[in-house]
């Protein structure tokens, strides 16, 4: 009698299936590995040659660019030297007998400010003060402190505007005591008034004084960098414009930016607003720009002409005569 065949053990079936899949996967990966090895071996020569050719081309291009940069730097140096040589003759008499206040804002290169002061000398001007307004002056966290400072430092002859903007209020007072004017009209300022304001700001590390202001200025040269880029950049850059406008309300003012580059650069806003109260130069970081700034100030002080000079957007020429 033939009996029924026994069914396979389910566990044995599972083991066989698992081994089958394991062997199959191993075979697949082995095939891929062999294919990659063979493919790499076949393409290794041409690929390496192409890569080496590309690398050599990039090295050659880089060397060419370096050479071009070196050449441009040499040309720029020559142009700066030439500008320095012609500056005395070009600027002669443009600000003869005039007193000019120099105000440096954050980002202004010290060497550029020194250069601008030298150009003022060529134009026959006397520097009636040189101050630097520091970064913390524009810090929103110090706004209330500035408002309090206005209350304790404002001369009796000056009436400050009603405002909760600490930068505006303090700039109004600083402009008044350093130019000897309020809204363009002369105001009586005693030497002690100037000292009170500048000392208070200096002690709070909001200002430095390179040359003590005399309290009289026929014009103001403001020099600045490209503006702030931190989280409070918009507020701080607006503050730089506010400072400039407060000085411009009292005396002809030129705003000289080191360059026109940078998002939020205050010079772009000043030119866009174009109130007719601030002349601008966008390359004051270079000798040509320093010459242009002093020439523009001469035009503004003597003829009331508001120039916008430089190489950036909104500039009408490099120099007033070429505008």
pLDDT tens per residue, range 147-202: 999 999 999 999 998 898 999 999 999 999 999 999 999 999 999 999 999 999 99
In terms of domains, do 146 and 234 share one? yes
The domain in which residue 228 lies consists of: 94-322
Exposed (0-12), middle (13-18) or buried (19+): which is 311, by Cβ within 10 Å?
middle
**pLDDT at res. 112:** 97
In terms of domains, do 79 and 119 share one? no
In terms of domains, do 216 and 173 share one? yes
Distance CA 291, CA 166 (A): 33
315 lies in a domain?
Answer: yes
In terms of domains, do 182 and 287 share one? yes
The residue from 72, 91, 110 where one domain ends is 91
155 lies in a domain?
Answer: yes
2 lies in a domain?
Answer: no
For Cα atoms 161, 165, 154, give the angle at the middle one, nearest 5 degrees: 45
* Digit-coded pLDDT (tens) for 286-314: 999 999 999 999 999 999 999 999 999 99
76 lies in a domain?
Answer: yes
Domain count, the chain: 2
61 lies in a domain?
Answer: yes
In terms of domains, do 77 and 212 share one? no
In terms of domains, do 194 and 294 share one? yes
């Amino acid at each position: 009698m033939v009996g029924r065949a026994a069914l396979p053990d389910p566990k044995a079936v599972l083991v066989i299936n698992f081994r089958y899949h394991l062997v199959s996967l191993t075979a697949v990966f082995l095939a891929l590995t062999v294919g990659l090895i063979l493919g790499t071996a076949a393409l290794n020569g041409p690929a390496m040659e192409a890569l080496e050719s590309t690398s050599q081309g990039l090295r050659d291009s880089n060397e060419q660019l370096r050479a071009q940069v070196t050449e441009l730097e040499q040309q720029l140096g020559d142009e700066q030297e030439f500008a320095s040589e012609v500056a005395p003759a070009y600027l002669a008499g443009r600000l003869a007998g005039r007193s000019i206040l120099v105000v440096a804002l954050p980002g202004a290169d010290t060497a550029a400010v020194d250069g601008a002061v030298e150009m003022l000398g060529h134009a026959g001007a006397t520097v009636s003060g040189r101050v630097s307004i520091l970064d913390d002056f524009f810090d929103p966290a110090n706004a209330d402190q500035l408002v309090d400072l206005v209350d304790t430092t404002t001369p009796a002859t000056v009436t400050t505007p009603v405002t909760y903007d600490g930068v505006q209020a303090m700039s109004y007072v600083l402009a008044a005591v350093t130019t000897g004017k309020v809204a363009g009209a002369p105001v009586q300022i005693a030497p002690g008034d100037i000292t009170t304001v500048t000392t208070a700001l200096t002690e709070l590390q909001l200002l430095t004084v390179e040359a003590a202001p005399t309290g009289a200025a026929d014009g103001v040269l403001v020099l600045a960098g490209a503006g702030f880029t931190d989280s409070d950049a918009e507020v701080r850059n607006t503050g730089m414009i506010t400072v400039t406008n407060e000085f411009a309300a009292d005396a002809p003012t030129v705003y000289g930016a080191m360059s026109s580059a940078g998002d939020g650069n205050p010079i772009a806003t000043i030119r866009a607003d174009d109130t007719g109260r601030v002349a601008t130069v966008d390359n004051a970081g270079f000798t040509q720009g320093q010459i242009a700034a002093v020439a523009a100030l001469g035009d503004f002080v003597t003829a009331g002409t508001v120039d916008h000079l430089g190489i950036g957007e909104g500039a009408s020429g490099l120099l007033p005569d070429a505008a």
